[in-house]
Structure 1
Amino acid sequence: MLIPILFITSRYSTNNCFICGFIYGIAVCILYAFWLLNYKAIALLFVALYEGILYGIVFLILQKSFNFFKNNNCIIQCLIWCSFEYFRTLGFLGVNYGVIGYSQWNNPILLQSAALFGVHGINFVILFPSCFFFSLIKYKGNKISFIKKNKFYIIGYSSVFIALLVYGSVQLKSTVKTDTEKTICLIQNNIDTSIYYKDKNNGILDFYKQIISDALQKNENIDLIVFPEGAVRPRILLNPEDSIPSDMYQDVIDYLQFFYDINIPIVFGSTSLEYDSTRNGIFTYKAYNISCYLNNKTKTIPANIDVYKKRHLVPIIEKIPFVNFYNQKFFKFSNSLSSGKEIVTFPLQDISFCTPICFEESFGYEVRCFMKKKTNFILSISSDFWSKSLVCQYQHFAMEVFRAVENRVPFLRSSVSGQTVYIDQKGKCLKMLKPFCSNFLICNVSLELTPKYSIYTKIGDSIGILYFLICIICVAYKYINKIKKKDVI
């Protein structure tokens, strides 16, 4: 992957390197996120320009590394790229699409090392050979002598790679200790949520009644029913501070009555409004993308619903920077949602689970925050329906496989159009619904009552910071040596 990039950055001038990186970043972004066109062309344009700038900068840094490091530049260049891939996942504009480590989602042996260092640990394993072989190709002397000079790298990398393969093989053969089993029903409704406002006859609710009836006929001992992101008519909450328009009031009552009649704990995605404050004389409110947990123990109106508010919103699409309240001015470009602040887990009998919402599942450090509350399994509610792309849905699926292995707990996902899946602690997909259809998936999930922290759960993406620190130390060491040589002269 990196060999063509290293050829460019080793030969071109500073300005040309940035231009090449900018073009490369735009091209890569369009290839991996072409499905954004099905949402808004401006969203793809914005992301492509942003990625172009990031890649332009890293091309510049690589170009400088050739001049600054005459020797050992293969390891430095690999660390530079690994640091880049780590930093581009952070912050408001962070994205995980295009991170090379995710290419190993279907490599079960190497995948197991994600429990140690996450996807960024695998990045180094994948990328170092590119940098080494480029240095070998570029070396003008005898190739054998180059290999002898760099035998430390060959031996070191080979030892690490073999150790990871052995670790992965042992983990795959080991038996997962389980103490309990829960039967969970995942709903895939395959419905465009934008029609909720046009659904005057509650036809969607009738569909839900039928699909739950079919599921209960197949297995009447279901412990939890899960509807995907945005599956329930907006503003289902009937808390005192949440005002419901009169034309929606009866519909909300009908939904709650349906949920109460099932008499099984339910998770569903919805939205909520909370009145905020008076800003310049205009009464405003905050809107949230939420997952709701109705345990059906207390059947009251207002409903007794536990709520998790999505914390990591999709930039521009769900959230405008510095805007933390719903504003009609931005609605054409963004949903103008507010970010939740609290990490929330939900109890289910003798265990607990968390519900990262869609985009959040792509971030290892976000899911890890839930795991530190001793969560027994991860349950994501999502919607990629708007993308109309199987590629998009599989990109998210690949990331979910990593989240399961990183934290050594099962990962379940209820998605509007797919991929609705059950992934075990070792990253194996045990069940998956056919995409773009309406159906349900019943999973018998084996769980530990007291899950143990994996190394990744304990240290997170610290290896990404380590890559960066090593680069800084090498630069400082090289710079100090240059100053000393000048003083000697």
Structure 2
Amino acid sequence: ILSYGVYWLNHYKPKEGPTVCMVQGNIPQDMKFESNEEDEINILKQYTDLSMSVKGTPIDLLVWPETMVPGLLNIDPELTGRKIDVLSQLTPIQLSQELNTNLLLGGIALTLAGDEQIYFNSAYYYNREGKSDGCYDKIHLVPFGEFTPLKNYFPFLTKLVPYKIGLTHGRHRTLFRLDTLQHESFDFGTSICYEDTVPSLIRKFKKDGADFMLNITNDGWFRDSAELDQHLAIMVFRAVENRFCMARAANTGISSFVSPDGAIYAKLSDSKGKYREISGTLIGRIKLVEKYNPFYTTCGDWFSILCVAALGIMLIMSVVKGRIVCQKVTEPK
């Protein structure tokens, strides 16, 4: 394994891919959690202003973190009667056209099923004309953070969830097609929040044909803590396992780019070197390698499963062997 790693790194020669801009607004979770209409408009304005600050810079994709669009993007605003929904739906059109770029924006999706309202944690994709070009609904939700497990059997558990409404699991992985200013095309997927801690999900995106992956997250829950560093470190493993570039837009940090060899080659920080709980934009090029499915992408966790199975067999054999030896020692001669 070590020899293979050395060989791969010696032959690692990535090429420059699409230019991506990560927007980090540093919105406190307290403001998002108990926001009124004025707060929501301010959040939208802050992210819009940060996005407009890169006007004139050629970029292929601009990314907002998880749930940073405060309004609903997939429902006719006339049905809700909310000003924030109107503003939220006008914003992607304005940004994509003025910046001449594609957009990936994190927001909440609402689906009406009869009298029932079904909510999803989603990523919306828009082309350069501002037209919606697909959506991904988060598949792996955080228990007691986004939904209440077994709430039909234990209703009191709903009191442990911070939101009055629960989210619903998405059912399908989505690949988005990115057409660049250099007239190239790439397919990419996105994970939302802690989905980059799920190796099997990222692996399936790679098998689906993703050239690179994005992660949009709101780590504002954890303020200026080591969780932000730990979350980024986990993403490094996903990049190495699947041999592709991963980049992330995080509301309070740490927005960054990770290359297929696991190197964090770009990270948003301020003039003092602070990289948590700051706002700004980070522009970088996606690093690409020859497209193929490495061992982990192809085989998944079978190697580790076999190792655990072999260890279990050896433990059982040692116990059995020990008992046999003990019986022989205690037998009368």
Identity %: 26
What is the aligned partner in structure 1 of residue 123 from structure 2?
291
Given the alignment, which residue of 37, 41, 53 partners 1:214? 53
Give the Cα separation in 1 of the matches to 2:106 and 2:162.
19
Indicate the structure with greater helix content.
1
2:161 to 333, 344, 359: 333
Residue 110 of structure 2 aligns with which residue?
273
Structure 2 portions without partners, runs of 5+: 180-184, 270-275
Aligned amino acid, residue 206 of structure 1? K
Q: Structure 2 CA distance, aligned partners of 1:293 and 1:378?
A: 14
Aligned to 2:261: 426
- Give the letter aligned to residue 210 of structure 1: D
Task: Find runs of 4+ consecutive structure 1 residues off by over 4 angstroms.
Answer: 475-487
CA pair 253-482 structure 1, distance change in 2 beyond 3 A: closer
Is the CA contact 2:72–2:109 (under 8 Å) kept in the aligned structure 1?
Answer: yes
Partner residue, 2:286: 445
Distance 1:177 1:254, change over 3 A: closer
Residue in 1 that maps onto 2:145: 317
Could you tell me whether the CA contact under 8 Å between 2:17 and 2:285 is conserved in 1? Answer: yes
Which secondary structure does the structure 2 equivalent of 1:406 belong to?
helix
Q: How far apart, in 2, do the equivalents of 1:328 and 1:260 lie?
A: 45
In 2 relative to 1, CA 321–379 (structure 1 residues): closer, same or farther, beyond 3 Å? same
Contact 1:407 1:457 in 2 (8 A): yes
**Contact (CA 8 Å) 1:186, 1:414: kept in 2 or not?**
yes
Cα shift readout 1:196-246 (whole Å, capped 9, x = no counterpart): 5342682333323322222124x2x10000011111113122369x95344
Counterpart in 1 of 2:305? Answer: 465
CA gap 1:234/1:247 in 2 versus in 1, 3 angstroms: closer
Deviation (angstroms), 1:185: 0.5
Q: Which amino acid aligns with 1:440?
A: T
Aligned to 1:261: 97
Q: 1:346 maps to which residue? A: 176
CA RMSD, 1 decimal: 3.0
Matched residue, 1:172? 9
Structure-2 change in CA distance of 1:230 and 1:298 (3 Å):
closer
In the superposition, relative to structure 1, how do residues 271 and 305 fare at CA in structure 2: closer, same or farther (>3 Å)?
farther
The equivalent residue for 2:26 is 190
Shift of 1:322: 3.5
Q: 2:226 is paired with a residue of what secondary structure?
A: helix
SS of the aligned residue for 2:262 comes to coil
Q: Normalising by the residue count of structure 1, what TM-score does the alignment of the two structures yield?
A: 0.57
SS of alignment partner, residue 287 of structure 1: strand
| Structure 2 counterpart of 1:306, from 111, 121, 134 | 134
Task: Give the AA of the match of 1:439.
Answer: G
**Cα distance in 2 between the residues matched to 1:239 and 1:483:** 72
Q: Deviations over 1:23-46 (max 9, x none)?
A: xxxxxxxxxxxxxxxxxxxxxxxx
| Partner Cα distance (1:258, 1:331) in 2 | 40
Matches within 5 A, 1:26-425: 164=2, 166-178=3-15, 181-192=17-28, 193-194=32-33, 196-199=35-38, 202-217=41-56, 219=57, 221-238=58-75, 243-262=79-98, 263-276=100-113, 283-297=115-129, 299=131, 304-323=132-151, 330=158, 333-335=161-163, 336-349=166-179, 350-425=185-260
Amino acid at match of 1:359: Y
User: Structure 1: which amino acid aligns with 2:118?
Assistant: K
The unaligned stretches of length 5 or more in structure 1 are: 1-162, 278-282
Q: Deviations over 1:350-399 (max 9, x none)?
A: 11111001111112122111111111111000111111133000001111
Provide the rounded CA distance (Å) in 1 between the counterparts of 2:301 and 2:206. Answer: 14
Q: Provide the rounded CA distance (Å) in 1 between the counterparts of 2:121 and 2:156.
A: 17
Query: Per-residue deviation at 1:467?
Result: 3.0
Q: C-alpha distance in 2, partners of 1:348/1:195?
A: 35
Q: Is the 8 A contact 1:229 1:382 kept in 2?
A: yes
Structure ranking higher in strand proportion: 2
Is the alpha carbon distance of 1:459 and 1:312 closer, same or farther for their aligned partners in structure 2, counting shifts above 3 Å?
Answer: same
In 1, Cα distance between equivalents of 2:23 and 2:44: 13
User: CA deviation digits over 1:267-310, x for unaligned, max 9?
Assistant: 01101122245xxxxx33221111111124464xxxx3411111
Q: How many residues align?
A: 309
Where 2:36 maps in the other structure, the secondary structure is: helix
Quick check: 181-190 or 382-391, which moved more?
382-391
Instruction: Name whichever of 389-398 and 223-232 sits farther off.
Output: 389-398
- Spell out, residue by residue over 1:326-354, the C-alpha distance to the aligned partner (whole angstroms, 9 max, x if none): x9993662442111111111110211111
Retained in 1: the 8 A contact 2:144–2:160?
A: no
Are the counterparts in 1 of residues 196 and 215 from structure 2 also a CA contact under 8 Å?
yes
For the 8 Å contact 2:66–2:193, the answer to whether it is kept is: yes
Partner of 1:85: none
Give the letter for the 1:436 counterpart.
E
Mapped partners of 1:195, 1:244: distance in 2: 19
Normalization by structure 2: what TM-score?
Answer: 0.82
Shift of 1:484: 8.3
Kindly provide the CA deviation profile for residues 163-215 of structure 1, in whole angstroms up to 9, marking residues without a partner as x. Answer: 51x4433333323253x621110111111333653426823333233222221
Cα distance in structure 2, aligned partners of 1:332 and 1:199: 28
Q: Considering only CA atoms, is the larger Rg found in Structure 1 or Structure 2? A: 1
Task: Provide the secondary structure at the position in 1 that maps to 2:142.
Answer: coil
CA distance change for structure 1 residues 353 and 253 in 2, over 3 Å: closer, same or farther?
A: closer
CA distance in structure 2 between the partners assigned to 1:196 and 1:384 by the alignment: 17
